[in-house]
Amino acid sequence: VRARAVVVAAGSVQTPALLRRSGLTNPNIGRHLHLHPATGVWGVFAEEVRPWEGGMQTRYSTEHADLDGRGYGVIYETAATNPATAVSFMSWTGGRAHLDRMRALPHLGGVGVITRDRDSGEVRVGRDGEPVVHYRLSPYDAVHLRAGIAGAARIVEAAGALRLWSGHQRGPVWERGTGSIDEFVRHVETLGTAPGQVAMAALHIMGAARMGGSAATSVARPDGATWEVPNLVLADASTFPGSLGVNPMISVEAIAYMSAQRLAAAL
């Protein structure tokens, strides 16, 4: 197959791996991986919430989006919740606790904590040619995640939850009438965020083949074309220069549209 141009849009994990397998040598390929570390706080309410129905994401807060004066912090979101998504953000303390939580699912409501990570990870390529992700939440970003968990707990308590808990593996369950939310928050802030200590997900995977103004710091030019192969154009979230502080769907669409328009004009 011969083409005048090739567009790569395999995502922030597979795009850098494809570039490496294709022989590109830019040292920035695979670096600067960002992924919005996320966790949540759950509450059980007296009334039915039925979190699997209705609008998927109808509540959103940027109250703590800038915790350091540089634009890094957390946003709070809600989302439709089914058993699978609920379990992925909860700790596992045994079969009985899991059964009780699933039985309480109609009364369950949660607040997601999405962290804009300042520090980054890397995508490397294994001997089999497949991508291998290396990422560890940095101490800097962990401070913001813990602040977000505290904020989410206060939101869920203020909404009237009868009991609530975070995703910490050894975290407490707060019961209304048995202690203040301040005590719960102080306790949770002492708990760890290392692997195995808190349920966490990698949302909105970005970067790893970022655009920029120089081949010394980026993989592609501002029009998405790689520095090494001008007719090889990137058009996905791997091109993000850094971590966004918002959900990136519209940004991905905008970058893809921009790259397509410039490529079409060049051809």
Same domain, 11 and 100: no
pLDDT at 18: 97
Rounded to 5 degrees, φ, ψ at 129 are 85, -5
Report the pLDDT averaged over residues 173-195. Answer: 92
CB environment 207-218: b (16+ within 10 A), e (fewer): bbbbbbeeeeeb
Q: Is the pLDDT of residue 195 over 90?
A: no
Distance of CA 264 to the CA centre of its chain: 32
Q: Quote the pTM value.
A: 0.92
pLDDT in the model for residue 17: 97
Write down the pLDDT at residue 88: 86
Give CA–CA dist 156/160, Å, rounded.
7
The pLDDT of residue 132 is 97
* Rounded Cα distance, 115 and 212, in Å: 23
Say how far apart CA 111 and CA 154 lie, in whole Å: 10
89: containing domain? 36-120+135-202
Instruction: Name all contacts of 78-81 with Cβ < 8 Å and 24+ positions apart.
Output: 78/109, 78/110, 78/111, 78/112, 79/112, 80/51, 80/52, 80/53, 80/54, 80/55, 80/56, 81/51, 81/52, 81/105, 81/108, 81/109, 81/110
Q: Tell me the average pLDDT across 184-189.
A: 93
At 146-180, the pLDDT tens digits run: 999 999 999 999 999 999 999 999 889 999 999 89
* CA nearest neighbour of 198 among 67, 41, 78: 41
53 shares its domain with 146? yes
Last residue of a domain, one of 154, 172, 202: 202
* Residue owning tokens 């703590």: 64
Q: Are residues 58 and 154 in the same domain?
A: yes
**Mean pLDDT value of segment 100-113:** 94
Question: pLDDT for 3-62, tens place per residue?
Answer: 999 999 999 999 999 999 999 999 999 999 999 999 999 999 999 999 999 887 888 999
In a domain, 12, yes or no: yes
Active-site residue 204, yes or no? yes
The pLDDT value given to residue 124: 96
In whole angstroms, give the CA distance from residue 112 to residue 55: 15
pLDDT of residue 170: 87
Looking at residue 142, its pLDDT comes to 97
Same domain, 189 and 213: no
The rounded distance, in Å, linking the Cα atoms of 98 and 165 is 13
- Cβ-contact 86, 97 below 8 angstroms: no
DSSP for 245-266, please give it: SS--HHHHHHHHHHHHHHHHHH
Burial class (CB in 10 A: 0-12, 13-18, 19+), 259: buried
Q: What is the pLDDT of residue 1?
A: 83
pLDDT confidence of 99, banded at 50, 70, 90? very high
| Residue 129, in any domain of the structure | no
Give the per-residue pLDDT at 66: 97
The mean per-residue pLDDT over the stretch 63-83 comes to: 95
Give a yes or no: residue 125 inside a domain.
Answer: no
> Which tokens belong to 162?
């009868």
Give the residue from 202, 233, 250 where a domain finishes. Answer: 202
Q: Are 168 and 197 in contact (CB under 8 A)?
A: yes
Regarding whether 97 and 229 lie in a shared domain, the answer is no
* DSSP structure class, residue 45: -
**Alpha-carbon span 267 to 224, nearest angstrom:** 14
- Within-domain flag for 128: no
Neighbouring residues of 222: CB distance < 8 A, sequence distance ≥ 6:
211, 212, 213
pLDDT at 94: 87
Report residue 206's pLDDT band, with 50, 70 and 90 as the boundaries: very high
pLDDT of residue 54: 83
CA distance 114 to 76: 6
Determine the average pLDDT of the residues in 88-93. Answer: 86
- Structure-token pair, residue 108: 């369950």
Q: Which of 169, 228, 244, 241 is nearest to 6 (CA)?
A: 228
Per-residue pLDDT tens digits for 213-238: 999 999 999 999 999 998 999 999 99
The count of structural domains within the chain is 2
